Structure formats: C-alpha cells, structure tokens
Amino acid sequence: MAPSFLDDPLPDLGGLVILLAEDNETNQIVAGEMLRAMGAEVEIAADGAEALERAAGRPYDVLVVDIEMPRISGEDVIRLVRAADEPLASRPLIALTAYPREDVGARLLAAGADEVLSKPIDGIAAFGRAILAPLENRRAPRAAPDAPEAMELAAVAAEASGFSPRTLDCLLRSVGPGMMIPLLDRLIEDIEAAAGTVRLASAPVQPEALRRAGHVLTAVAGSAGAGALAQRAEAMHAAAAAGDLDAALAAAPPLLREADAALARLRAVRQEAGA
C-alpha cells in the first residue's frame, strides 16, 4: 500500500516560479522534483551568494532556502532579503534546515522566514502546502511562534532512530519512477563520499571537514530513512562546529558503522529497483 501522504491531493503550484537555494546536489534533485511534480517552475542556486544574485535579478514567486550553505549562509540570505528594497523584501521565503531544534526554528522565523521546514521533507503534499501558505496569507505580522508550530518536530522525531523503509519509500515515490534509480545512486554516492571524508579527517583531525561531512550526512541520511546515521552525523557536526574535537572524534566510529549499515540497505534497494 502506498504511504498515506501520497494519497493526499497534491497542491497546484502551476504558474509559480520558485528559486531553490541548496548546495547539495542530491537535495536539489529531491526538492526540485517534488516542486516540479506539483507544476512549479524551479531554478537552482548552489549557494547563498548565487541565491541573492538570482533573487535580485528575477521576481520569483517564492524563495526556498537551505540554511547551511557556502559563501553566504541561508540565515544571512533571509536577513539580507528582508533588508532589501521592495519588491524583493516581501518575497515569500521558506527556510529548510536539517537541524529541527526549537531554537533554530524560532531564530529563522525571527530573521524573516515565512515558514520553516525540516529536512528530510515529510511528504510532497506537505511541502506544497508550505509553499502556498505565505502566498495565501502574505506576511501578516505575527507574534513569536511556539516552536512546534514553526517546525514539524513530531514527524521528524517519529523517524529519528533506526532505519525507516517508509521514509525511503515515500522519497522514491515522490520523485517518480524516472528519477528513482538516479536518486538512489546519488544517495549512495553522497554517503560513501561523506563517510570517506570522516575517515580521512579523523587523523589528523580536520574540524571543518568533519563539520561539512556531518552536515551532508544529516540531510542525506534523513532523506534516505537512515535516522540513526542522521543522529550520529548531527552530533558530529555540532561537536566539530563547537570546536569540541574530542567529541567529534568520538562520534566518528559509531557514525561510520551506521553509514556502512545504511549503504548496505540502499544498495539492496538499488539492486531490487534495477532488477
């Protein structure tokens, strides 16, 4: 039986031109294919600086911005858009984050985001509704929100541990049959590359490399249903970002074990899909 969210009628995003700012190519594929499936035209910016350049040059209907990007962070993109001249300053803006903590959601809303969504995106219909929400209720003044209202924390927590075939199945169904095998290949490639970075960056310690690998794995593993790997990756990312090298190094061995387990599952799914 198909996952329940696939039975939801998909929101109609026909006629909307959306700028998706995301540095990870796998996440570009996932979010971009979801938006196109709902009828939107999607353009991609690979980092925060490119996002600002594109947003200043074309009147996009909605900006969808990942928070951790090179050159200029997504949070700074939000602040700079809101400080710009009209009409850019009032563009609907959706923030995506792989770190669904309550303080993160509140901070991004305070910076000027209309909506904050956690990665992995919990279903194509929910994504579409989040895109339409600020268009239907254009930036009415709002009080500081309760964090559970700002972010879909319950859905994230439900998939936060172990391996969720449901999450992976939902992802593959949402991008469609034509993208299923290429997406599986990208997921496997990203996890292999990030795990390799963790191995190389552990001796000698390279904190920035560990931080970046943790960021990639948090989002990609979550999308693939590898919740335990995503948790390990988030812990390593946080430790490396805080300069706690002992904690970052301690997180590496269990992270690598989870990465091997996730890769084995994904390769099995890939083999079955290609049979």
Give start and end residues of each alpha helix (H) in 69-152: 74-83, 102-111, 124-136, 147-150
- Assign domain 4-157 to a CATH class: alpha beta
Identify the CATH number of the domain defined by range 165-274. 1.20.120
Q: What is the mean pLDDT of residues 11-17?
A: 94
Q: Is the pLDDT of residue 41 over 90?
A: yes
Q: What is the mean pLDDT of residues 57-84?
A: 93
Q: What is the mean pLDDT of residues 226-255?
A: 90
The C-alpha atoms of residue 26 and residue 28 are separated, in whole angstroms, by: 5
Reported as a single tens digit per residue, the pLDDT across 177-220 is 888 999 999 999 999 999 999 999 887 888 889 998 998 898 88
Q: What angle do CA 115, 116, 120 make, to 5 degrees?
A: 130
pLDDT at 205: 80
Higher pLDDT, 155 or 193: 193
Reported as a single tens digit per residue, the pLDDT across 71-130 is 899 999 999 999 999 999 999 999 998 876 778 889 999 999 999 998 877 778 889 999
CATH 3.40.50.2300 residue window(s) in the chain: 4-157
pLDDT at 137: 66
- The phi and psi torsions of 115 (rounded to 5 degrees) equal -140, 150
pLDDT at 219: 84
Query: Residue 275's pLDDT band (boundaries 50, 70, 90)?
Result: low
pLDDT at 99: 77
3-state secondary structure at position 227: helix
pLDDT at 8: 62
